[in-house]
């Protein structure tokens, strides 16, 4: 090999090595996503605890809405995993976590009132709704859809699942059916508060065979426990008040389904015992929404298989 050719080859190797080192250094210094928690005051005299994962150049924004008996820490690991590409928000609903607990005579905890809270938060947080995906489960889903009836551009996509958009008690767990009317609702509230420890430890395991049962993070477990009795109203009480208006808001929603223009995706745990998959199948059929049934998954897909949730979010932006 000639000396000039050898010199050129050596120079190429040196340049390539420098580029690789530079790339590794850039990767090593890439900011690690952090979840920042704080509080934001919105209308109706309510303060919401929120979690935000910031991104200096996000591809879009994600807003997570939890169910019962969860808190925003439900979403922490998922939010951090998405933080490299998106700005991610999560809130505690009034009555949950460390958010406000106004008395029921001042705030009804109804799905339509949660919808107003959601609208106020989106505005207060300055979220660009044209680049927003809302992922809502359980009690968080109907408020998001009620808001979409009034504001079709509230999000580019709403992903919902494992909730009761329609008044179909036959698809619901017996204890949930009992919350829909008195006097059984009051008895159910007492029982939920009495069985607090069992609810917090086993709600997400119930109905799953042993081989598919799973644990939640200690951080989430502790936060749900702390949040349950934060203030004078427990999370079970808030859940009770939500259900006291549930049938009214379900029937309003179904009678106005023709106004739903926001793109909706339905994701459902096939083994959900609380809200059977038939509810999701009927809802998806009525709204012509894409439906994904997750085999061997229960009522909490985002806890049982968080990677599936991450993939659903990423797919919504493609």
Interval 21-33: pLDDT, tens: 434 433 444 567 8
Closest CA to 93 of 75, 117, 73: 117
Q: Is 139 helix (H, G, I), strand (E, B) or coil?
A: helix
- Taking only the tens place, the pLDDT of each residue in 129-171 is 999 999 999 999 999 999 999 999 999 999 999 999 999 999 9
28-316: CATH class? alpha beta
Nearest to 149 by CA among 250, 61, 258: 258
pLDDT at residue 30, rounded to an integer: 54
DSSP secondary structure of 79-91: HHHHTTTSEEEEE
Q: 96-126, pLDDT tens digit by residue?
A: 999 999 999 999 999 999 999 999 999 999 9
Each residue of 78-114: b (16+ CB within 10 Å) or e?
bbebbbebbbbbbbbbbbbbbbbbbebeebebbbbbb
> Mean of the per-residue pLDDT values for the chain?
91
284 within 8 A of 165, measured Cβ to Cβ = no
- How sure is the predictor about 91, in pLDDT bands with cuts at 50, 70 and 90? very high
Report in angstroms the alpha-carbon separations of 89 from 50, 55, 106, 203: 7, 11, 26, 24
For residue range 245-301, what is the model confidence (pLDDT) as tens digits?
Answer: 999 999 999 999 999 999 999 999 999 999 999 999 999 999 999 999 999 999 999
317 phi/psi in degrees, rounded to 5: -100, 0
Rounded to two decimals, what is the model's pTM? 0.90
Query: How far is residue 13's CA from residue 159's CA, in Å, rounded to a whole number?
Result: 49
H or E element at residue 291: strand 290-294
d(CA 125, CA 38): 12
The answer to whether 32 touches 62, Cβ cutoff 8 Å, is: no
Q: Which letter, b or e, does each residue of 288-299 get, where b requires 16 or more Cβ atoms within 10 Å of its Cβ?
A: ebebbbbeebbb
Q: What is the pLDDT of residue 171?
A: 98
Rg, Å, the chain Cα set: 23
What is the secondary structure of 179-238 as a DSSP string?
TTSTTHHHHHHHHHHHTHHHHHHHTTTTTS-GGG-----HHHHHHHHHHHTSSSS-HHHH
* Strand ranges across the sheet with 35-41: 35-41, 47-53, 87-91, 61-65, 132-137, 157-161, 264-269, 290-294
How much is the pLDDT for 43?
A: 82
* Rounded-to-5 percentages of helix, strand, coil across the chain: 50, 15, 35
Which among 143, 42, 33, 136 is positioned nearest to 88, based on CA atoms? 33
């Amino acid at each position: 090999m000639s000396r000039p050719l050898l010199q050129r080859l050596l120079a190429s190797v040196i340049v390539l090595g420098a580029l690789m080192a530079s790339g590794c250094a850039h990767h090593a210094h890439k900011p690690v996503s952090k979840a920042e928690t704080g509080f934001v005051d919105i209308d109706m005299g309510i303060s919401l605890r929120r979690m935000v994962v910031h991104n200096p150049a996000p591809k879009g924004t994600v807003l997570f809405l939890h169910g019962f008996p969860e808190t925003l820490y439900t979403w922490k690991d998922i939010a951090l995993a998405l933080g490299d590409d998106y700005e991610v928000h999560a809130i505690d609903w009034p009555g949950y976590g460390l958010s406000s607990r106004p008395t029921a005579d001042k705030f009804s905890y109804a799905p339509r009132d949660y919808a107003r809270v959601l609208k106020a938060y989106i505005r207060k947080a300055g979220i660009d709704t044209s680049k927003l995906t809302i992922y809502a489960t359980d009690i968080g889903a109907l408020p998001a859809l009620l808001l979409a009836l009034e504001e079709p551009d509230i999000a580019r996509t709403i992903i919902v699942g494992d909730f009761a958009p329609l008044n179909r008690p036959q698809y619901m767990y017996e204890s949930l059916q009992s919350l829909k009317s008195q006097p059984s609702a009051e008895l159910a509230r007492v029982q939920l508060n009495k069985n607090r420890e069992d609810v917090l430890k086993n709600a997400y395991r119930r109905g799953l065979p042993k081989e598919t049962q799973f644990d939640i993070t200690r951080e989430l477990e502790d936060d749900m426990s702390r949040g349950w009795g934060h203030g004078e109203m427990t999370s079970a009480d808030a859940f009770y008040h939500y259900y006291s208006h549930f049938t009214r808001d379900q029937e309003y929603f179904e009678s106005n389904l023709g106004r739903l223009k926001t793109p909706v995706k339905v994701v459902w745990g096939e083994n959900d015992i609380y809200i059977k998959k038939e509810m999701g199948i009927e809802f998806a059929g009525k709204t012509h929404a894409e439906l994904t049934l997750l085999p061997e998954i229960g009522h909490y897909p985002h806890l049982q298989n968080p990677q599936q949730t991450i993939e659903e979010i990423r797919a919504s932006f493609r």
